[in-house]
Amino acid sequence: MAIGDLIQQIEETERLIAVYRNVNEVIVGTEDQIYGRRGLINRTVLTAAEIGDTIVNILERRLRGCGQSWKQSAPKTTGKADES
* Confidence tier at 6 by pLDDT (50, 70, 90): confident
Whether 57 is in a domain gets the answer yes
CA-based end-to-end distance of the chain: 34
Whether 60 is in a domain gets the answer yes
Whether 78 is in a domain gets the answer no
Is the pLDDT confidence value at 76 over 70?
Answer: no
Whether 43 is in a domain gets the answer yes
CA-wise closest residue to 66 among 2, 7, 4, 19? 7
How does pLDDT run across 18-72, given as a tens digit for each residue?
999 999 999 998 887 776 667 778 889 999 899 989 999 999 999 999 888 878 8
Q: Which domain holds residue 26?
A: 3-73
* Confidence tier at 84 by pLDDT (50, 70, 90): very low
pTM value is: 0.69
Contacts of 54-63 with CB under 8 Å at 24 or more apart are 55/20, 55/26, 56/17, 56/20, 56/21, 59/13, 59/16, 59/17, 59/20, 60/17, 62/13, 63/10, 63/13, 63/14, 63/17
Whether 81 is in a domain gets the answer no
The count of structural domains within the chain is: 1
